[in-house]
């Protein structure tokens, strides 16, 4: 019985078919595994390795390089609070201190009920809304301390379930077409001949 | 009037709430540029882009047309779009990805046609979940419309486009690290030479890596002609460009401005742009092009947003992000935070960057907290000298990529411009801004 669900495995195989070489699908498939589990479980890593044709150590070695791929459990909501320069100039460290008090954890920690992980993030490219945060990759900007507390309350009560999916869900839109749209079969583009231009 | 009447080239649709939909895109001339491109030869498309002298909008400012012409002849060529926007205080591609994804796809297919790419990968920063969703949605619509895929818009040209999500690493904005990541590996920049992916790129094949904003300019250039684009701006800084303004200003945001016509003063103080410094405070310093760039002081505020002019003055327009510090800003704390960023994001391959970044961060933190000594200010410069010998601009490199040699910029700027302020931290044993 595989750990990854049938749906995840079939989506993973569809991803592999999109690339000239299977290993290119490694990181996108890690995202899918996180969508299922919230983090990268060892069982998932083994199956990803099988799917893309590398060793589990190579999957872990790659995944551990990246901030968004978690090799340890995280909360249902990962709050990434930007403290980089634009946010810092708008009070991000004061907000971070406040959020640590509200959640009763330090940055890097997870609340005991498993609801929230708090991270100090690097610039998340939303500087016109500084100080800004992401919750599971979804933006919330121009946050005052009381805005932050309300956000935490709303998340806890499930008021934002439409906006913020559980941790790990990156893209809720699925690709509608595979490479057969071009090839007729799912052949590798590297094997295709150069296509002619319009006369 | 300080802002010119130049047309909005890449932000013409963002005033609409539904700017990301194919309906709005088609109603506002969407895919007309692609249709026109497909009626031309690939060489003609490339020569229009050359005529526009479109500079890459990612940070290095390398002419896009020249990048294309450097491609090694091979059976398989790839186009990779760099949407890994992570330079602190840069948030222009974020806007384009979320608000006009079809414009990006149109530009991408035009470029793929010009270089006859076998496949296109749009690498989008993993943190930009909505951007990834919007581009994926737009791609589905574009396939259905026939703007991507088999026999595009009835021509004999076919190409596939794949949206590839990143997973959180600043270094993947470096084009060879991005290619490693796209191959499913750690984002380690590749050893140079070969210098350009145009020779050895994705899977060793010739590859063009272009920025999101660069691609988004192509539909307009093909529709209106390279000459019309080159008529905007000054000298080699042609067209318009997105400038991201942040920090201590009243109205931070992304503004599309004609290249080289607007000054930093306009950008920061004009009512329609930055609208001045918060609480009416005085300008202390600003960073002209992302945190890798050396800083400027108030006496340089009348300089134009011009790649050459800023370059001659010893800094760079880089990614087009301008960060404003005012009289309430502690420059030491700012330099510390920027250094901390580089240290955290160092991939760890090269010793000067991996170790030097960490030591600089520690010493800066000590100074900021009033625990530093005066001689440590000179020691900072000594460590910087090991990272980028001479601590000059453009920096000398001791590392595989330019991340390491970017670290000294902010530290050297803070010391050069505000040594007295650093000394107050030492003498008073505390940060005077706390």
Residue that finishes a domain, picked among A22, A52, A71: A71
pLDDT at A185: 42
Interface confidence: ipTM more than 0.85: yes
Nearest to B124 by CA among B88, B147, B96: B96
Minimum-distance CB partner of A68 among B126, B163, B185: B126
Q: Is residue A90 one of the residues assigned to a domain?
A: yes
**Within an 8 Å CB–CB cutoff, is residue A93 touching chain B?**
no
Q: Do A82 and A150 belong together in one domain?
A: yes
In our burial notation (b when 16+ CB lie closer than 10 A, e otherwise), range B94-114 reads bbbbbbbbbbbbbbbbbbbbb
Residue that finishes a domain, picked among A55, A71, A87: A71
**Within an 8 Å CB–CB cutoff, is residue B68 touching chain A?**
no
Please write the tens of the pLDDT for every residue from A33-77.
999 999 999 999 999 999 999 999 999 999 999 999 999 999 999
- For range A102-127, the mean pLDDT: 97
pLDDT at B54: 95
Nearest to A196 by CA among B279, B126, B364, B152: B152
Residues of chain A neighbouring B206 (CB-CB closer than 8 A):
none
- Please name every residue paired with A118 in a beta bridge, in sequence order, or none if there are none: A79
Whether residue A59 contacts residue A48, with contact meaning beta carbons closer than 8 Å, is answered with: yes
**Within an 8 Å CB–CB cutoff, is residue A71 touching chain B?**
no
Residues of chain B neighbouring A134 (CB-CB closer than 8 A):
127
Residues of chain A neighbouring B344 (CB-CB closer than 8 A):
122
Rounded Cα distance between B320 and B269, Å, is: 17
Please write the tens of the pLDDT for every residue from B34-53.
999 999 999 999 999 999 99
- For range B198-225, the mean pLDDT: 97
Q: Do A39 and A86 belong together in one domain?
A: no
Minimum-distance CB partner of A86 among B42, B155, B247: B247
Tokens of residue B152, six digits: 């595009």
Q: Is residue A82 one of the residues assigned to a domain?
A: yes
Rounded Cα distance between B359 and B340, Å, is: 10
Question: Is B140 in contact with A176 (Cβ distance < 8 A)?
Answer: yes
A192 has pLDDT over 70: no
Cα end-to-end span (Å), chain B: 40
In chain A, which residue's Cα lies nearest the Cα of B325? A89
Q: Do A144 and A87 belong together in one domain?
A: yes
pLDDT at A178: 77
Q: Is residue A169 one of the residues assigned to a domain?
A: no
Percent of chain A with pLDDT over 90: 88
Q: Is residue A18 one of the residues assigned to a domain?
A: yes
Please write the tens of the pLDDT for every residue from B218-262.
999 999 999 999 999 999 899 999 999 999 999 999 999 999 999
Residues of chain B neighbouring A122 (CB-CB closer than 8 A):
86, 88, 170, 341, 344-345
Please write the tens of the pLDDT for every residue from B371-385.
999 999 999 999 999
**Within an 8 Å CB–CB cutoff, is residue A163 touching chain B?**
no
Residue that finishes a domain, picked among A41, A71, A101: A71
pLDDT at A179: 74
Please, which residues have CB within 8 angstroms of residue A92's CB and are 6 or more apart in sequence?
A81, A82, A83, A84, A130, A131
pLDDT at A180: 61
Please, which residues have CB within 8 angstroms of residue A135's CB and are 6 or more apart in sequence?
A77, A78, A79, A80, A151, A155, A160, A164
Percent of chain B with pLDDT over 90: 97
Q: Is residue A115 one of the residues assigned to a domain?
A: yes
**Within an 8 Å CB–CB cutoff, is residue A20 touching chain B?**
yes
**Within an 8 Å CB–CB cutoff, is residue B146 touching chain A?**
no
Rounded Cα distance between A108 and A96, Å, is: 12
Residue carrying structure tokens 């990246």:
A66
Please write the tens of the pLDDT for every residue from B280-321.
999 999 999 999 999 999 999 999 999 999 999 999 999 999
Residues of chain A neighbouring B168 (CB-CB closer than 8 A):
66-69
Indicate the number of domains in chain A. 2
A198 has pLDDT over 70: no
Give the CATH number, domain containing residue A135. Answer: 3.40.30.10
Report the Cα B254 to chain-centroid distance in Å: 13
Q: How many CA atoms does the CB half-sphere of B103 hold within 13 Å?
A: 31
Closest CA–CA distance from residue B332 to any residue of chain A (Å): 12
Ordered by start, the domain boundaries in chain B are 22-230, 239-326, 331-428
- For range A96-125, the mean pLDDT: 98
Q: Do A63 and A109 belong together in one domain?
A: no
Q: Is residue A190 one of the residues assigned to a domain?
A: no
- B290 secondary structure, DSSP code: S
Residue A195 banded pLDDT, cuts 50, 70, 90: very low
pLDDT at A169: 96
Rounded Cα distance between B434 and B432, Å, is: 6
Question: Is B252 in contact with A130 (Cβ distance < 8 A)?
Answer: yes
Q: How would CATH label the architecture of B239-326?
A: Roll (3.10)
Q: How would CATH label the architecture of B22-230?
A: 3-Layer(aba) Sandwich (3.40)
pLDDT at B426: 98
Minimum-distance CB partner of A86 among B94, B126, B246: B246
Q: Do A107 and A64 belong together in one domain?
A: no
A182 has pLDDT over 60: no
Q: Do A59 and A113 belong together in one domain?
A: no
Give the CATH number, domain containing residue A11. Answer: 1.10.10.1590
Residue A21 phi, psi (nearest 5): -130, 135
Residue B5 banded pLDDT, cuts 50, 70, 90: confident
pLDDT at B359: 97
Q: Do A40 and A89 belong together in one domain?
A: no
Q: Do A81 and A152 belong together in one domain?
A: yes
pLDDT at A197: 38
Strand boundaries in B146-294, DSSP class E: 160-165, 207-211, 233-234, 237-238, 240-247, 253-258, 283-287
Nearest to B402 by CA among B338, B346, B361: B346
- Among A182, A184, A190, the strongest candidate for a mutation testing the B interface, having the largest count of B CBs within 10 A, is A182
Q: Do A59 and A21 belong together in one domain?
A: yes
Q: Do A85 and A147 belong together in one domain?
A: yes
A-to-B residue pairs, Cβ atoms closer than 8 angstroms: 207
Report the Cα A117 to chain-centroid distance in Å: 14
Please write the tens of the pLDDT for every residue from B98-139.
999 999 999 999 999 999 999 999 999 999 999 999 999 999
Minimum-distance CB partner of B118 among A65, A172, A192: A192
pLDDT at A186: 41
Q: How many CA atoms does the CB half-sphere of A99 hold within 13 Å?
A: 33
Fold of B331-428: de novo design (two linked rop proteins) (1.20.1440)
Rounded Cα distance between A68 and A54, Å, is: 21
**Within an 8 Å CB–CB cutoff, is residue A134 touching chain B?**
yes
Tokens of residue B408, six digits: 């000294």
Residue-range definition of the domain harbouring residue A49: 6-71
Whether residue B410 contacts residue B338, with contact meaning beta carbons closer than 8 Å, is answered with: yes
In chain B, which residue's Cα lies nearest the Cα of A83? B337
Question: In a 3-state reduction of DSSP, which class is residue A121?
Answer: strand
Please write the tens of the pLDDT for every residue from B374-421.
999 999 999 999 999 999 999 999 999 999 999 999 999 999 999 999
Residue carrying structure tokens 């010893």:
B314
Please write the tens of the pLDDT for every residue from B146-167.
999 999 999 999 999 999 999 9
pLDDT at B27: 98
Q: Is residue A161 one of the residues assigned to a domain?
A: no
Percent of chain B with pLDDT over 70: 100
Residues B359, B362, B365, B366: what is their CA dihedral angle, to the nearest 10 degrees?
Answer: -110
């Amino acid at each position: 019985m595989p750990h990854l669900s049938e749906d995840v495995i079939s989506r993973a195989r569809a991803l592999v078919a999109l690339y000239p070489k299977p290993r290119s699908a490694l990181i996108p498939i890690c995202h899918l595994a996180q969508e299922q589990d919230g983090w990268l479980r060892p069982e998932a890593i083994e199956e990803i390795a099988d799917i893309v044709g590398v060793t589990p150590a190579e999957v872990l070695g790659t995944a551990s390089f990246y901030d968004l791929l978690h090799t340890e459990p995280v909360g249902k909501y990962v709050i990434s609070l930007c403290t980089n320069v634009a946010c810092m100039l708008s009070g991000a460290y004061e907000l971070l201190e406040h959020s640590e008090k509200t959640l009763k954890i330090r940055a890097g920690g997870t609340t005991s009920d498993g609801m929230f992980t708090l991270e100090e993030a690097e610039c998340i490219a939303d500087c016109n809304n500084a100080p800004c945060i992401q919750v599971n990759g979804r933006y919330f900007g121009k946050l005052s301390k009381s805005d932050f507390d309300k956000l935490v309350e709303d998340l806890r009560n499930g008021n934002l379930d439409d906006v913020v999916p559980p941790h790990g869900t990156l893209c809720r839109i699925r690709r509608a077409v595979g490479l057969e749209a071009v090839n007729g079969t799912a052949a590798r583009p590297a094997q295709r001949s150069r296509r002619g231009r319009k006369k | 009037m300080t802002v010119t009447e130049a047309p909005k080239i890449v932000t013409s649709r963002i005033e609409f709430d539904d700017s990301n939909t194919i309906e709005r895109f088609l109603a506002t001339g969407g895919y007309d540029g692609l249709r026109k491109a497909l009626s031309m030869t690939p060489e003609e498309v490339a020569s229009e882009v050359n005529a526009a002298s479109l500079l890459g909008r990612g940070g290095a400012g390398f002419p896009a047309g020249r990048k294309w012409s450097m491609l090694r002849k091979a059976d398989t060529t790839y186009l990779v779009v760099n949407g890994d926007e992570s330079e602190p205080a840069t948030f222009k591609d974020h806007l384009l990805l979320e608000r006009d994804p079809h414009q990006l796809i149109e530009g991408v297919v035009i470029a793929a046609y010009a270089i006859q790419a076998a496949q296109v990968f749009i690498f989008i920063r993993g943190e930009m979940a909505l951007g990834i969703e919007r581009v994926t949605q737009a791609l589905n619509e574009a396939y259905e419309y026939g703007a991507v895929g088999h026999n595009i818009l009835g021509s004999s040209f076919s190409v596939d486009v794949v949206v590839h999500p990143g997973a959180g690493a600043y270094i993947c904005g470096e084009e060879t690290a991005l290619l490693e990541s796209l191959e499913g590996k750690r984002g380690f920049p590749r050893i140079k030479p070969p210098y350009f992916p145009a020779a050895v790129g994705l899977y060793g094949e010739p590859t063009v890596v272009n920025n999101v904003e660069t691609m988004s300019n192509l539909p307009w250039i093909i529709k209106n002609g390279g000459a019309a684009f080159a008529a905007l701006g000054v000298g080699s800084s042609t067209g318009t460009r997105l400038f991201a303004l942040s920090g201590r200003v009243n109205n931070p945001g992304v503004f599309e401005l004609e290249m080289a016509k607007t000054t930093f003063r306009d950008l920061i103080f004009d009512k329609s742009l930055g609208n001045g410094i918060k609480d009416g405070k005085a300008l202390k310093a600003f960073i002209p092009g992302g945190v890798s760039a050396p800083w400027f002081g108030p006496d340089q505020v009348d300089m134009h947003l011009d790649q050459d002019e800023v370059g001659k003055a010893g800094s760079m327009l880089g990614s087009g992000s301008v960060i404003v510090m005012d009289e309430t800003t502690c420059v030491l704390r700012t330099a510390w935070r920027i250094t901390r960023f580089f240290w955290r994001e160092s991939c760890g391959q090269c010793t000067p960057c991996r170790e030097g970044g960490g030591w600089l961060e520690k010493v800066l933190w000590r100074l900021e907290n009033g625990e530093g000594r005066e001689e440590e200010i000179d020691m900072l410069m000594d460590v910087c000298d090991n990272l980028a010998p001479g601590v000059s601009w453009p920096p000398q490199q001791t590392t595989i990529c330019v991340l390491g040699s970017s670290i000294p910029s902010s530290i050297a700027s803070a010391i050069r411009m505000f040594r007295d302020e650093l000394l107050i931290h030492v003498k008073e044993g505390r940060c005077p801004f706390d």
